[in-house]
């Protein structure tokens, strides 16, 4: 059943007008403001729904959706692919040895795999990828896939504290290409990363997503696969209350996706 569903979703293609968010005429959804207000959040959300019976591209706060922010840990999605493509990590089973340094989050203080490092957003793992790939390599990879401003400079880690910036619209474009294995990277890298991105799954849907937090901006990006097509989403919000605001990322996205019948209640 699962293999059949994955095969069907891999074969689904979008209409030409829905192939990238930049080409879409995003339809404003001012009613989504009520959801942001409910959670006392300021931010933006972009949704591109490619399901056969409900196609559409929607945005709340169009200006902010086109504004670039630090991607924070959402950069782990392309970063993991770069590491696989470059041969830094072989597969999702390879053990990445812990360096022995105690960190504030206990799940980080142990050996990791690609899957666990994505699930627990283990920064030190991706810093080892950065060291192996090098600054020039990081820039070349980002330019190759047209990721944000492709700038790996600044305070470390550059995807949190440095100069790398990406918009919600650009996140959607990147995710659409990844979903269809259309990035100029190895097919193996794309398939492996999509596998470790799985958050949840039901009988006829799969949620692949990644959170991110720069300290001031919180992200949740990804897509929900259905037999009739995928529903892509990218949200970012301000987090003035810092960690107390982090639950709002998933809460807002889930409520909006549930209103579109893209996720079960």
Distance CA 265, CA 248 (A): 17
> How big is the chain by its Cα radius of gyration, in Å?
18
Asked if the bond preceding 157 is cis, omega within 30° of 0, the reply is yes
Residue 21 corresponds to which tokens in the numbers above?
């968010």
Q: How far apart are the first and last CA of the chain?
A: 23
Residue positions annotated with a catalytic role: 73
State the DSSP string of 191-245.
HHHHHHTEEEE-SS-EEEEEEEE-SSEEEEEEEEEETTEEEEEEEEEE-TTGGGG
Q: List, edge to edge, every strand of the sheet that includes 56-60.
A: 27-28, 56-60, 43-49, 229-238, 217-226, 206-213, 198-201
Residue 215 corresponds to which tokens in the numbers above?
């300290």
* CB-based contact 145:174 (threshold 8 Å): yes
């Amino acid at each position: 059943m699962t293999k059949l569903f994955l095969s069907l979703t891999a074969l689904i293609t979008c209409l030409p007008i829905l192939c990238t968010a930049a080409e879409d005429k995003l339809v404003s959804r001012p009613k989504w403001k009520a959801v942001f207000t409910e959670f006392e959040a300021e931010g933006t959300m972009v949704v591109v729904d490619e399901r056969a019976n409900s196609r559409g591209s929607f945005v709340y706060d169009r200006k902010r959706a086109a504004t670039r922010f630090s991607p924070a840990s959402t950069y782990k999605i392309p970063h993991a692919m770069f590491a696989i493509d470059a041969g830094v990590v072989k597969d999702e089973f390879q053990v990445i040895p812990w360096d022995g340094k105690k960190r504030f989050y206990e799940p980080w203080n142990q050996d990791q795999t690609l899957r666990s490092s994505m699930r627990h957003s283990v920064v030190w793992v991706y810093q080892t990828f950065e060291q192996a790939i090098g600054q020039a390599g990081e820039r070349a990879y980002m330019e190759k896939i047209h990721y944000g401003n492709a700038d790996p400079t600044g305070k470390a880690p550059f995807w949190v504290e440095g100069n790398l910036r990406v918009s919600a619209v650009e996140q959607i474009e990147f995710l659409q290409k990844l979903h269809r294995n259309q990035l100029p990277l190895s097919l193996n890298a794309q398939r492996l990363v999509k596998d470790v991105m799985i958050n949840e799954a039901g009988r006829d849907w799969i949620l692949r997503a990644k959170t991110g937090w720069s300290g001031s901006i919180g992200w949740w990006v990804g897509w929900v696969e259905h037999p009739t097509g995928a529903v892509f989403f990218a949200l970012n919000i301000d987090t003035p209350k810092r960690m107390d605001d982090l639950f709002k990322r998933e809460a807002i996205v889930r409520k909006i996706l549930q209103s579109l019948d893209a996720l079960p209640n």
